[in-house]
């Protein structure tokens, strides 16, 4: 019996090892290898076995079939196989992005206007989000193309040519960009990587609808995947409430909005996102250096977001050059109907970057061949910073934002709306949970909320109230249309608090033609005395 059990055990282990090896090396599993094909698919005339996805296996749909399917989508994007990348452009397509005409390649990136890089060229990758992408600009007006043009002019006709590529996507965060570069490093082979960080780096990874349009979905890399942290959601809700109020009224509401919770670096949620972004870039710098490549970080503007990030990057990897592109960018330097930089501003940035690369010796050539600055762009030049300045500026900004913090977030008066990290839909409902930052106003925490109108199926609903990660109580909604209120003791301390509201269930609804997850309507959270 013991021999029989030992034989059975060895057999099981052997099968498991074979399964793991086959899954790792071939993208298949033993379970799928002998299974029938989905839908009874038959071998095709492509010269392969016609496999469109093994039942129970790891094969999935072929990449060429996914690419052909995505080509018929009306949206710009297709899903990338790496969930930490999220999405790329539809492959080999002619696309329009806010009046900018672009062509995509097989990787889902913008093509180089001058075609494939010449053999032996100095390869540059411009990495990032919509600024690096050139949102609203044609292919020949991107930052990558401008840098390539300036560097080649400075190097002269006999030098090895520079070939710069745009490795960027609107809405990408640091994780998406870095993982795409690492996934496709053998195809891109950059000698120099220029990363352009913006506040997108603190947001969750976007997903893509079946149509190829961007959407929010739980981020597999987030600490709380169901917390919806994305661009502009709370302010879109505020603008709907404000309606046709004057710009002065909107500006007044912004001044009442408190400190910007996500970028202020005053709390665990904000700080952890900065930590992750900085670690991502510091590790990328070391990873590239081991492969003979160099990373340069080029923040779009010299603003508090950049100070908090660059202080961390410098502390983690002091060898990475940190050069902001602009001190400030006003409406005169952006697209007429959008806040992204226009072609002239990107051309000015390209000249600044090219000259800095030449002056630092990262690219050989004559720095004086590149103009020091464009006419009219002098006021946008960022101040010269020493390495120690980033930490000093970040500390000073944390003090300023601490003073701006308010103890109330109200969805009626719009006070404190900048202190919503995320979780609030455009119509003012909460989805799967919401997170807020509050100053300690001297009183206990008070919460008011009401059910979603017209959704009695969501009742009764229990909302767990967490303060700094610990449950301090709950609020129960039972009557359709009836608001409920609760009061909760705060743990001792003098630091701002993070309040997370977690409903025990939620539903889905179509709002203005868009489906969303929703659970309840927040009215007010406050630590200020009544």
Alpha-carbon distance of 269 to 469, in angstroms, equals: 11
Q: Quick one: which H or E segment has residue 431?
A: strand 430-438
Residue 296 φ/ψ, nearest 5 degrees: -125, 135
Length of the chain equals: 530
User: For position 287, what pLDDT does the model report?
Assistant: 98
| CB of 81 closer than 8 Å to CB of 63 | yes
Which of the four pLDDT bands, split at 50, 70 and 90, describes residue 80? Answer: very high
Q: What is the mean pLDDT of residues 185-206?
A: 96
Region of 325 (left: φ > 0; alpha: ψ -120 to 50; beta: rest) is alpha
Q: What is the mean pLDDT of residues 41-60?
A: 36
Indicate whether 19 pLDDT > 80: no
Helix (H/G/I), strand (E/B), else coil: 476? strand
Which of the four pLDDT bands, split at 50, 70 and 90, describes residue 41? Answer: very low
User: For position 394, what pLDDT does the model report?
Assistant: 98
Topology of the domain covering 82-203+262-392: Rossmann fold (3.40.50)
For 408-526, the fitting CATH number among 3.40.50.720, 2.40.50.100, 2.60.120.260, 1.10.12.10 is: 2.60.120.260
Nearest to 232, CA basis, from 429, 515, 513, 421: 421
pLDDT tens profile 333-352: 999 988 999 999 999 999 99
User: For position 28, what pLDDT does the model report?
Assistant: 35
Indicate whether 396 pLDDT > 50: yes
| CB of 37 closer than 8 Å to CB of 52 | yes
If you write DSSP's letter for every residue of 224-278 in order, what string do you get?
STTS---TTHHHHHHHHHHTT--HHHHHHHHHTT-S-TTTS--SHHHHHHHHHHH
Domains 82-203+262-392 and 408-526 share a fold: no
Each domain of the chain, given as residue ranges in start order, spans 82-203+262-392, 408-526
Q: Which residues pair with 524 in a beta bridge?
A: 410, 448
Alpha-carbon distance of 315 to 404, in angstroms, equals: 27
Higher per-residue pLDDT: 412 or 311: 311
Indicate whether 329 pLDDT > 80: yes
Helix count and strand count (H, E) for the chain = 13, 21
Which of the four pLDDT bands, split at 50, 70 and 90, describes residue 247? Answer: low
Q: Whose structure tokens read 């300690």?
A: 440
Helix (H/G/I), strand (E/B), else coil: 463? strand
If you write DSSP's letter for every residue of 199-230 in order, what string do you get?
GGGGSPPEEE-TTS-EEE---TTSSSTTS---
Residue 3: partners with Cβ closer than 8 Å, 6 or more residues away: none
Neighbours of 215 (CB within 10 A): 17
């Amino acid at each position: 019996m013991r021999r029989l059990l030992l034989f059975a055990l060895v057999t099981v282990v052997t099968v498991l090892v074979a399964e793991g090896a086959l899954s790792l090396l071939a993208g298949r599993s033993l379970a799928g290898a002998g299974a029938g094909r989905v839908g009874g698919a038959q071998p095709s005339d492509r010269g392969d076995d016609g496999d469109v996805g093994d039942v129970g296996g790891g094969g999935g749909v072929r990449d060429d079939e996914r690419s052909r399917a995505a080509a018929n989508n009306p949206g710009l994007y297709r899903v990338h196989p790496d969930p930490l990348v999220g999405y790329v452009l539809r492959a080999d397509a002619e696309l329009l992005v806010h009046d900018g005409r672009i062509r995509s390649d097989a990787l889902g990136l913008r093509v180089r206007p001058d075609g494939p890089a010449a053999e032996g060229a100095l390869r540059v990758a411009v990495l990032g989000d919509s600024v690096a992408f050139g949102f609203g600009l044609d292919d020949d007006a991107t930052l990558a193309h401008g840098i390539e043009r300036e560097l080649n002019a400075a190097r002269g006709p006999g030098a090895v040519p520079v070939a710069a590529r745009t490795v960027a996507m609107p809405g990408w965060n640091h994780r998406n960009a870095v993982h795409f570069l690492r996934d496709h490093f053998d195809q891109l082979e950059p000698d120099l990587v220029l990363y352009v960080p913006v506040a997108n780096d603190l947001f969750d990874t976007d997903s893509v609808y079946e149509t190829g349009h961007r959407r929010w979905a739980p981020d597999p890399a987030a600490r709380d995947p169901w917390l919806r942290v994305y661009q502009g959601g709370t302010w879109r809700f505020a603008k709907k409430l404000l309606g046709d109020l004057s710009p002065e009224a909107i500006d007044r509401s912004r001044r009442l909005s408190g400190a910007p919770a996500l970028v202020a670096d005053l709390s665990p949620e904000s700080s952890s996102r900065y930590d992750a972004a900085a670690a991502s870039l510091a590790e990328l710098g070391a990873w590239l250096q081991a492969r003979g490549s160099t990373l340069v970080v080029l923040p779009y503007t010299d603003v508090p977001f950049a100070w908090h990030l660059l202080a961390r990057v410098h502390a983690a990897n002091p060898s990475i050059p940190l050069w902001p592109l602009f001190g400030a960018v006003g409406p005169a330097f952006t697209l007429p109907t959008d806040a992204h930089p226009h072609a002239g501003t990107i051309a000015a940035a390209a000249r600044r970057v090219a000259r800095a690369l030449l002056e630092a010796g990262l690219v050989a050539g004559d720095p004086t061949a590149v103009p020091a600055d464009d006419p009219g762009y002098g006021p946008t030049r960022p101040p010269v910073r020493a390495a120690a300045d980033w930490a000093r500026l970040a500390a000073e900004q944390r003090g300023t934002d601490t003073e701006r913090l308010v103890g109330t977030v109200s969805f009626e008066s719009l006070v404190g709306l900048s202190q919503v990290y995320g979780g609030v839909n455009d119509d003012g409902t909460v989805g799967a949970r919401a997170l807020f930052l509050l100053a300690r106003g001297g009183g206990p925490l008070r919460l008011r909320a009401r059910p979603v109108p017209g959704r009695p199926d969501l009742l009764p609903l229990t909302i767990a109230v967490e303060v700094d990660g610990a449950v301090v109580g709950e609020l129960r909604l039972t009557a359709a249309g009836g608001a409920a209120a609760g009061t909760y003791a705060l743990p001792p301390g003098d630091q701002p608090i993070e309040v997370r509201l977690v409903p025990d269930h939620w539903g889905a609804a179509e709002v203005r033609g868009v489906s969303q997850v929703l659970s309840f309507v927040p009215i007010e959270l406050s630590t200020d005395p009544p």
